[in-house]
Amino acid sequence: MIKIKGIYPPLKFLAYTIFNILIAYIIFGICRLVFFISNIEYFPNIEANNILQIIKGGLIFDTAGIIYLNGLYIVLMLIPLPWRKTKSWQCFSKWIFIVINSIAIIINFADSVYFKYTNRRTTASVFSEFGEEENISKVIGNEVLNNYILVILGILLIYAMYKIYRNPIKNDITKKEKQSVKHIILYYLTSLIIFASVIPLCIAGIRGGFAHSTRPITIGNANQYVNRPIESAIVLNTPFSIIRTIGKTVYENPNYFTIEELNKIYSPIHTPSNNNFRKLNVVVIILESIGEEYIEYGYAPFLKTLQEKGLSFKYSYSNGRKSIDGMPSVLSSIPMFIEPYFVTHYSTNDISGIAAELNKVGYHTAFFHGAPNGSMGFQAFAKTSCWQEYYGMDEYNNNSDFDGMWAIWDEPFMQFFANKMSEFKEPFATSVFTASSHHPFNIPTEYKDIFKEEEGHPILKCVRYTDNALKKFFETAEKQDWYKNTLFVITADHTNASLHEEYLTDAGLFRVPIIFYMPNEDINGDNSKVAQQIDIMPTVLNYLNYPNTYLAFGKDLLKSDNYKNWAINYNSGIYQFFDEDYMIQFDGNKPIALYNFKTDTLLKNNLLGNDHMQESDMLNKCKAIIQEYIMRMTTNSLVIE
């Protein structure tokens, strides 16, 4: 190491900090190994070729967990202040490191035992679950005695950490001879550069990567590295799971109805058709931020033609307001209630979906998203919901088409999507999630004179660009052999900037297109029905005459039986339930408003309390759906075995 006066001490502090953080990595690795060995019977089907993926995922989540826990320690060691050169400052820093990482060892080891009862990593809900238990100390005492080997191992690990820890100074540097001005300037300049360089590295570690589109990873992202949701527990660590779920709502069964009453009102179980199964290809296109408003007011002319050719619905709604709400709703019929599914305590549940069900009958399934792999948690959810292949920016393998912010431009990526499907064996099911109609609302240079900035909002030129990219996709698809045997579903993840007053209401903010299109075949359905994203999965499967029983919270839009004209969504603590012509708003305890959303488009006339004949029936249906959802989330009962 270079021992230039003023430069050497800061580099020494950095080197010792790195060394001690590496101790934390080793500790987390040992804890993961202990967790795995303690619960090995729960992971009987781990494939050899997936071990490297699990290790990779483990390092990513350990990095986040270690930074969350050791952020204060890193600051204490690297902040350019004179006191860090004192023995007392370093002693304090050491004990911060020892205590914090000892806690990590204890809760990781405790989870090695507790996992047998929950089959998932412990989350912040543990504090509310056991906060009122009077005998909790007795329970812990019994488990300590029953698992004394883990206790001894934990003590040895903490002691080893204490002994191995390295302190960068033995005596106060400030007590040495007076330093020159040049020495002091070099010392603080070097310290400041090191400190400023480490901050973005820590932020990237917490986020799970450097890509702009990478969000801070959550427990649901662990599914990206495993084949079964239960295996995500190996990838995760307990400190991370607890920290990332602090403040997240834990679902509690509202018990609106008894089980017998509930079954009479609503069930998410769909029974198979008696007709012959149709092995059609299925292509689901999820358009970023394309609200129904943009089609109605002429900004998406090609989508308008698809609505006219296929089956679409005048009143069609998203089930959430974010991209991470849209994917579960569209592809797995899971609505967004309370929290986005991706970030809930339940994101490692076993779930089904279009891909999972069609895999059972011999389909090839693949999900496409042109952002950096792992972005938005989409890759993790795609794996959880059983899409066999994932095609992202890595697989596209041409960064010259990157928009510089989020993803590959829609036009080239959708051409890639169309051509890649021609390589698949039929029948196949695929889905693509577009990206270009997104802030900061840019379009490729070659289109800036074609799709010009319009009054209203800068997203409008992006809507025109994506609509044109979709048109070119269909022009390419029409030339492929698989095209005529394909059911296309086109929708959006959520709305974006609303420009007209009827789309600024509580109902209008959720209005997205839902289109079913089959070349050379009319899809018969009632386009006056109220439709929603979670209806897509059951509608697709029932259109194919899918032969197996499955679970989906939505309804089949092509059936005409009773109680099949509803939709539900959630925003800011309020459930909105649509049935026929009316929308009721419910806060979980009591209704707060009732509107005829078809005639009262601006929702100005609250009919609640006017003895409206549908009010009680709508409220019961809404409650039943909420209760069924929460019951199944909290008991991991989202799949029909």
Contacts of residue 192, defined as CB under 8 A and 6 or more positions apart, other chains included, come to: 80
- What is the sign of the dihedral through the CA atoms of 118, 122, 125 and 127? positive
| Residue 177 pLDDT greater than 60, yes or no | no
Binned at pLDDT 50, 70 and 90, residue 563 comes out as low
Average confidence score pLDDT of the chain: 89
List, for residues 454-499, the tens digit of each pLDDT value: 777 899 999 999 999 999 999 999 999 999 999 999 999 999 888 8
- Residue 74 pLDDT: 96
* HSE-CB of 499 using CA atoms within 13 angstroms: 17
List, for residues 100-114, the tens digit of each pLDDT value: 999 999 999 999 988
- Count the neighbouring beta carbons within 10 Å of the beta carbon of residue 524: 8
Identify the weakest region by mean pLDDT among 285-294, 352-361, 554-563.
554-563
Query: Per-residue pLDDT averaged across 565-585, rounded?
Result: 91
Helices (H) and strands (E) in the chain, counts: 20, 15
- Residue 279 pLDDT: 95
Three-state SS letters, 89-103: HHHHHHHHHHHHHHH
Fold for 280-572, please state it.
Alkaline Phosphatase, subunit A (3.40.720)
State what percent of residues in the chain have pLDDT above 90. Answer: 65
Query: Per-residue pLDDT averaged across 13-23, rounded?
Result: 95
| E-state strands within 434-513 | 486-492
| Residue 6 pLDDT greater than 70, yes or no | no
List, for residues 381-420, the tens digit of each pLDDT value: 999 999 999 999 999 999 999 998 889 999 999 999 999 9
| Residue 614 pLDDT greater than 50, yes or no | yes
Domains in the chain: boundaries:
8-129+138-245, 280-572
| Residue 47 pLDDT greater than 60, yes or no | yes
| Residue 209 pLDDT greater than 90, yes or no | no
pTM of the predicted protein model: 0.81
Higher pLDDT, 401 or 571: 401
Give the residue from 320, 7, 588, 591 showing the smallest Cα distance to 579.
591
List, for residues 430-439, the tens digit of each pLDDT value: 999 999 998 8
List, for residues 82-100, the tens digit of each pLDDT value: 888 888 999 999 999 999 9
- Residue 2 pLDDT: 45
Binned at pLDDT 50, 70 and 90, residue 128 comes out as low
d(CA 262, CA 266): 6
